[in-house]
Amino acid sequence: MTADPLLTVTDFSVTYEVDPPVEAVRNVSITLERGEILGLAGESGCGKTTLAYGIQRLLKPPAVITSGTAVFQDAGGQTIDLHALTVEQMRRFRWDKASMVFQGAMNALNPVTNVGSQLDDVFLTHRPQMSRAERKEECARLLDMVGVGRERLRSYAHELSGGMRQRVMIAMALALKPQLMIMDEPTTALDVLVQREILQQISDLRHEFGFSVIFITHDLPMLLEISDRIAIMKDGRIVEIDTSANIYHHAQHEYTRRLLSSFPSLTGERGDFVRGTGHGAGAVEENGASR
Amino acid sequence: MTTLEFSHVTKRYRVRGAGDMLALDDVSFTLHSGETIALVGQSGSGKSTIAKILTQLERATTGDILLDGKQIPRRGKGLRSYRQQVRMVFQDPFASLNPYHTIRHHIERPLRLDHVVPSDEVETEVRRLLERVHLDPASTIDRRPHELSGGQRQRVAIARALASRPSLLIADEPVSMLDVSIRLGVLNLMADLQREANLGVLYITHDLATARHFSDEIMVLHHGVVVERGKSDDVILNPQHEYTRALRDASPDPDKHFADPSAPAPTRS
Amino acid sequence: MRFFLRRLAFYAFTAWAAITINFFLPRVMKGDPISAYLQKNQGKVSPEAIDSLRTLFGLDSTKSLWQQYIDYWGLLFHGDLGRSFSRGLAPVTDIIASALPWTVGLVGLATVFSFIIGTSLGALIGWRRGSRADAVVPIATFFSTVPYFWMGLIVIAVFSSTLGWFPASHAYGKGSAPEWSLDFILQVVQHGALPAITIVVASLGGWVLGMRNMMMTVLDEDYVTVAQAKGLKPRRVLVNYAARNALLPQLSSFALSLGFIVGGTLVMELVFSYPGVGKLLLDATTAKDYPLMQGLFLVIALAVLLANIMADIAYAILDPRTRQMEA
């Protein structure tokens, strides 16, 4: 892989200022190459979503970024320090250069306005020079592209299936041809067949448009199949980052290995799954971890 | 030896303005104590409907549910004794435990209601059950559900299900809401208990991989119809029905992915 | 469409039920105040008036109940609600018609203003949670907990008696008669100012609080975060995404308070001697003026119904999910 970084995050920390304070992200440094799919894997509460929101400066109080920088190398050659931008500059940056696809999509769409107007919002805000007719055509084209179909422009969220809603969100994320898409558990709530279709679609679209993806999920087997590189996160830290093949074959960190062994193989050997190997195998994992 | 027979069960839901919805279409299977059957299906396949009918939250439109050859009584003592023999473990370990009651209370209740042990032995039995699910009785018995982790809560739910010494266990997605690194622990625990107590387990899940390793047999449910059933390895490794094959091929399988020489670059999915 | 038809059928049924109850109520009342009154005022009451009163109150024992019921509907369709005892046998319809515009005009406008101001304020405060705008909340709550008559008296003492800015009572100056002239309209506005302001101040707190709390809930919804991530202008996120959704529960309360406008403003009308429906109802009750009372009950019931219909329509326009519920 040639060194052409799109996003460089250095020494990034986020703390939830509650009592007692929770350090959700601790001194994370990570580089995302242009055109790459970077998987971010970890269990609930490991800080993976907080990190993604933090990069986009979408965190709400009591979450506070306590250290670090996030620098974006625009395709135009410009270097953008995301934390030096004013609020207004940040607003313009969002979605235009870096868009997001959120978990579930159940609630990601506004229930009281139709899908078309929510797509239209993006153009209305970021491309004010476009005419009404141009915007409408562009929205229709996007829905066609993700396989939802332009006849759904006037549909509301509750009239669409979970898979369709997530496709709408992907269409929306693609609207301005961003260089970075952050996807937070985009297929977790979906059936495995729909999930596979959507992953395929993301992969195809990436080949077409060349954007980079940060793909956040707890589903390590899926990440292994779709990512170029994978970062394993635990307790706010990245404990290991490497290519998918290396993570799969030569995981270095003990936690990575444990995570890998948590997923029994679908078609391979039974691995760590010990049905029939004896008593007490279940007790090891959660020694009193209570939350 | 207890046998639960689900015989030619059909379930229709009347949807206002849209006619009838056939949730189950002539589904039959038999669960014996001592065996584990996985019921695999995606959302809307009808697997939750089967769980609801087995717990008598819903009634079958046609067909019979027989416990050791006898119809399940609709109410009263007979229904109580059915519920003592066929227990449930639910998906959400937080929603299924009452936040106001201690762990002791949760496990005591079935013990007292079903008179499993004399009342002066209840406390010992509660502790014994907690130990069986690998929880430390001293540190958990007086806690409330919110003071425990998700995995610990699910263990409590399992202990509660085992309290009335059932012969059959219906586990409806018992680990899908738990953190990934503790899922296998809970499943392994259930497998151990199953063997120790010679339980019959119906494992309802959407996850093919755990279904394969956890159960003797797999039934694949699609739109209310059992499209395929057989020995676990056969169903997964050599699926006969095209829907089973589609499910299998869509499920992530890194072993196959990295073993396949035609896909050296892991960028293509 | 099915949804609207279903609702329409429901409201038609409710209206029918209200009218029918209104028909039976005087028939189960003990004693016979009407006959007694007619006896006392023999010769003063015209034969037609007697007829309509007999029908309305079921005095006509020669007719079957069913016939009485049909006649009763006939009268209603002609807008005949009988004659008022306490007001020189004037038609009840006319009396109510002369009081209704004052109540609906003043209280209706005040309620609508209060809703609009309170909801907008609540939306803004919820949007800027944690800022100094939060200080509005306790102030608004204070005013809504002050007993209304007390606030009314204070306002009269300060702005009318002491400062002399506004008249203290009545809907227009003594000696004027209602007419469409600039002078008269100015009088009405001047007389209406104090009652209207007190109503707005007293009810504002509820709207502010309700909207603010809903905003807090809605702001945590995913679609608001998405809207922000989309880089939309804050104003657009606030209006189209947050407030648009937070508004929905407010509408139901708004419909309720609209329904109560007609019957529920007695205290204001007493404090300001305002010639509205509430005062009319009180007078009718004191004077045992049964025809007037019965007419008022009917009008109030229908007003509540009408307000609910309007709220339903607004809901269906603003929330696409209601429209689809049955599909």
Torsion angle, CA of C174/C177/C181/C184, rounded to 10 degrees? 20
Tokens coding A148:
């939802």
Q: What does the alpha-carbon distance between residue C226 and residue C237 come to, in Å, rounded to a whole number?
A: 10
Most A CBs within 10 Å, among C230, C236, C250, to test the A interface: C230
Evaluate if residue A270 carries a pLDDT over 70: no
* Predicted model pTM: 0.80
CB of A196 less than 8 A from some CB of B = yes
Tell me whether residues B255 and A193 touch, CB distance under 8 A.
no
Torsion angle, CA of C277/C283/C285/C290, rounded to 10 degrees? -80
* Predicted local confidence at residue B70, as pLDDT: 86
Residues of B in contact with A245 (CB under 8 A): 258, 266
Tell me whether residues B16 and C2 touch, CB distance under 8 A.
no
Beta bridge partners of C225: none
Q: Which residue has the higher pLDDT, A200 or A1?
A: A200
Residues of A in contact with C324 (CB under 8 A): 156, 158-159
Tell me whether residues C2 and B17 touch, CB distance under 8 A.
yes
- In 10 A of CB C289, how many CB atoms? 24
Question: Which residues of A lie inside 8 Å of C (Cβ-Cβ)?
Answer: 56, 58, 61, 91-96, 99-100, 102-104, 106-114, 121-122, 125-126, 156, 158-159, 169, 172
Instruction: Say if CB C257 and CB C265 are below 8 A apart.
Output: no
Instruction: Say if CB A285 and CB B181 are below 8 A apart.
Output: yes
Tell me whether residues C231 and A92 touch, CB distance under 8 A.
yes
Tell me whether residues A102 and C222 touch, CB distance under 8 A.
yes
Summarised one tens digit per residue, pLDDT across range A248-268 is: 888 889 999 888 888 888 887
Angle at A41 between CA A170 and CA A64, to 5 degrees: 85
Question: Which residues of B lie inside 8 Å of C (Cβ-Cβ)?
Answer: 16-18
Evaluate if residue A126 carries a pLDDT over 50: yes
CB of C7 less than 8 A from some CB of A = no
**Radius of gyration over alpha carbons of chain A, in Å?**
20
CB of C326 less than 8 A from some CB of A = no
Query: Which chains does B contact via 3+ CB–CB distances below 8 A?
Result: A, C
Q: Looking at chain A, which residue has its C-alpha nearest residue C232? A: A125
Tell me whether residues C222 and A94 touch, CB distance under 8 A.
no
Q: What does the alpha-carbon distance between residue B207 and residue B175 come to, in Å, rounded to a whole number?
A: 10
Q: Which of C229, C245, C248 sits opposite A94 (nearest CB)?
A: C229
* pLDDT class of A237 with cuts at 50, 70, 90: very high
Residues of B in contact with A46 (CB under 8 A): none
What is the overall mean pLDDT for chain B?
86
* pLDDT class of A288 with cuts at 50, 70, 90: very low
Provide the shortest C-alpha distance from residue B176 to chain C (in Å): 22
Q: What does the alpha-carbon distance between residue A186 and residue A104 come to, in Å, rounded to a whole number?
A: 6
Summarised one tens digit per residue, pLDDT across range C12-48 is: 898 888 888 888 877 776 656 666 666 666 666 777 7
Provide the shortest C-alpha distance from residue A271 to chain C (in Å): 39
Angle at C103 between CA C98 and CA C108, to 5 degrees: 140
Torsion angle, CA of C129/C131/C137/C138, rounded to 10 degrees? 130
Instruction: Say if CB C240 and CB A118 are below 8 A apart.
Output: no
Q: Which of A191, A245, A281 sits opposite B258 (nearest CB)?
A: A245
Q: Looking at chain A, which residue has its C-alpha nearest residue C318? A: A112
The answer for A 27-56 residues in CB contact with B (under 8 A) is 37, 43-44
Evaluate if residue B260 carries a pLDDT over 50: yes
**Maximum CA extent, chain C:** 81
- Return the SS3 of B257: helix
Q: What does the alpha-carbon distance between residue A228 and residue B133 come to, in Å, rounded to a whole number?
A: 40
* Predicted local confidence at residue C324, as pLDDT: 62
Residues of A in contact with C222 (CB under 8 A): 102-104, 106-108
Tell me whether residues A43 and B258 touch, CB distance under 8 A.
no
* Predicted local confidence at residue A77, as pLDDT: 83
Provide the shortest C-alpha distance from residue C320 to chain A (in Å): 6
* Predicted local confidence at residue A238, as pLDDT: 93
Tell me whether residues A273 and B149 touch, CB distance under 8 A.
no
Tell me whether residues A267 and B185 touch, CB distance under 8 A.
no
Q: What does the alpha-carbon distance between residue A140 and residue A120 come to, in Å, rounded to a whole number?
A: 10
Tell me whether residues B213 and A243 touch, CB distance under 8 A.
no
Q: How many CB pairs under 8 A join B and C?
A: 5
* Predicted local confidence at residue B228, as pLDDT: 93
* Predicted local confidence at residue B201, as pLDDT: 93
Provide the shortest C-alpha distance from residue C327 to chain B (in Å): 6
Residue with tokens 């093949």: A245
Provide the shortest C-alpha distance from residue A25 to chain B (in Å): 19
Residue B53: burial class (beta carbons within 10 Å; 0-12, 13-18, 19+): buried
Provide the shortest C-alpha distance from residue B16 to chain C (in Å): 7
Tell me whether residues C244 and A100 touch, CB distance under 8 A.
no
Q: What is the mean pLDDT of residues B105-116?
A: 86
Evaluate if residue A273 carries a pLDDT over 70: no
What is the overall mean pLDDT for chain A?
85
Q: What does the alpha-carbon distance between residue C189 and residue C172 come to, in Å, rounded to a whole number?
A: 8
DSSP A173-224: HHTT--SEEEEESTTTTS-HHHHHHHHHHHHHHHHHH--EEEEEES-HHHHH
* Predicted local confidence at residue C309, as pLDDT: 85
The answer for A 91-150 residues in CB contact with B (under 8 A) is none
* Predicted local confidence at residue B268, as pLDDT: 37
Summarised one tens digit per residue, pLDDT across range A169-223 is: 988 998 898 999 999 988 887 888 888 888 888 888 888 888 999 999 989 999 9
* Predicted local confidence at residue B265, as pLDDT: 47
* Predicted local confidence at residue A90, as pLDDT: 92
Residue with tokens 């204001």: C268
CB of A16 less than 8 A from some CB of B = no
Residues of A in contact with C231 (CB under 8 A): 91-96, 125-126
pLDDT values of chain C reduced to their tens digit, one per residue, 327 residues: 677 788 888 888 988 888 888 888 777 766 566 666 666 666 667 777 777 777 766 666 667 778 878 888 888 888 777 777 777 777 888 888 888 888 888 888 888 899 999 999 999 999 888 777 788 888 888 887 888 788 888 888 888 777 878 777 777 767 667 777 777 777 778 788 888 888 888 888 889 999 999 999 999 888 998 999 998 999 999 999 999 999 988 888 888 788 777 666 778 888 888 888 888 888 888 877 777 888 888 888 888 888 888 888 888 888 888 766 543
Provide the shortest C-alpha distance from residue B17 to chain C (in Å): 6
Provide the shortest C-alpha distance from residue B172 to chain A (in Å): 17
* pLDDT class of A278 with cuts at 50, 70, 90: very low
Residues 6+ apart with CB under 8 A from A76: none
Beta bridge partners of A37: A213
Q: How many CB pairs under 8 A join A and B?
A: 151
Angle at A55 between CA A49 and CA A58, to 5 degrees: 75
Q: Which of A95, A109, A158 sits opposite C229 (nearest CB)?
A: A95
* Predicted local confidence at residue A282, as pLDDT: 38
Q: Which of A248, A262, A275 sits opposite B180 (nearest CB)?
A: A262
Summarised one tens digit per residue, pLDDT across range A44-102 is: 888 888 999 899 888 888 899 999 999 999 888 889 999 889 999 999 999 999 999 98
* Predicted local confidence at residue A275, as pLDDT: 46
Tell me whether residues B151 and A285 touch, CB distance under 8 A.
yes
- Return the SS3 of A5: strand
Residues of B in contact with C326 (CB under 8 A): 16-17
Q: How far, in Å, are A96, A111, C132, C314 from residue C239 at the CA level?
A: 22, 14, 21, 17
